[in-house]
């Protein structure tokens, strides 16, 4: 099903994990995808894995902590495909730290990576999305609606993503633009496989749900992203979707 045939999609944090899975999902549905990340070698591998799919995948560099880079990534996508229909703000990283050990530099870097980048990308993309009646899908986390131990900066940033989603949804209520957000729980991604925690951390606090049901497959979460970005979700605007194996059910 070429759900996104002729539609242009920008996916950030696209070199692995959920971002790469989203790129493949959009390409499988005929989308014209610009995959952006700092790791060009891995992006090339993602693009190559989509070679036999109906859509098209191009890729380029993006450091979401740079507002200039964010604007350039949007411009590159529009230049390549002549339009922008979907922005997926996926780039981010979760580092566990004891709060009293967090440096000013670490705090600033976490906020820039996990929140400010999504704002700058959205700011640059919105004029183009208004022209196409497009939409934004923000990727927050269960940490966007609850507390996460040893994650003060990340949790604050992801709460910010939820707030950004709601603010944009209201601001553009009288336009065709849709803005939605997903809050994934733990996924089986390269980041999860290389995670490190402070020596003093209580591992049970961190893994209390994954210990019961395991980690989610990134492709199953990417399916929610492509659904929200599709016309099938035309009635969904300003929503915060939990994708967490019941993490927040209790």
Q: Active site includes 81?
A: no
Task: Report the residue count for the chain.
Answer: 250
At a CB cut-off of 8 Å and minimum separation 6, what does 206 contact? 96, 148, 149, 150, 197
Helix (H) or strand (E) holding 9: strand 8-12
Q: Which value, in Å, is the radius of gyration of the alpha carbons in the chain? A: 17
Alpha helices, H only, 102-248 = 104-111, 117-132, 152-171, 190-193, 203-206, 210-213, 218-229
| Tokens of residue 190, six digits | 């390269």
Give me the catalytic one of 81, 150, 154, 172. Answer: 154
Q: How far from each other are the two terminal CA atoms of the chain, in whole angstroms?
A: 37
Helix 152-171 / helix 104-111 crossing angle, nearest 10 deg: 30
Cβ 87 vs Cβ 64: under 8 Å = no
| Residues annotated as part of the active site | 154
């Amino acid at each position: 099903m070429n759900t996104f045939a002729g539609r242009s999609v920008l996916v950030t944090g696209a070199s692995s994990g959920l971002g790469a899975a989203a790129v493949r999902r959009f390409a499988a549905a005929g989308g014209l995808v610009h995959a952006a990340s700092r790791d060009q070698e891995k992006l090339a591998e993602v693009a190559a894995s989509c070679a036999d799919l109906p859509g098209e995948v191009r890729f380029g560099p993006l450091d979401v902590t740079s507002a200039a880079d964010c604007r350039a990534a949007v411009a590159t996508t529009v230049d390549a495909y002549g339009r922008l229909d979907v922005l997926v703000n996926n780039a981010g990283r979760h580092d566990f730290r004891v709060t009293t050990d967090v440096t000013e530099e670490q705090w600033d870097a976490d906020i820039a990576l996990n929140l400010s980048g999504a704002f700058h990308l959205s700011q640059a993309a919105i004029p183009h999305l208004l022209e196409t009646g497009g939409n934004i899908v923000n990727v927050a986390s269960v940490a966007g609606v609850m507390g996460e131990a040893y994650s003060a900066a990340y949790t604050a940033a992801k709460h910010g993503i939820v707030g950004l989603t709601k603010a944009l949804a209201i601001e553009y209520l009288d336009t065709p633009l849709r803005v939605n957000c997903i809050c994934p729980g733990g996924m089986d991604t390269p980041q999860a496989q290389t995670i490190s925690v402070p020596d003093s951390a209580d591992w049970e606090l961190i893994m209390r749900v994954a210990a019961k049901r395991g980690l989610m497959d990134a492709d199953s979460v990417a399916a929610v992203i492509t659904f929200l970005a599709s016309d099938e979700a035309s009635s969904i605007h300003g929503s915060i979707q939990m994708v967490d194996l019941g993490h927040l059910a209790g």
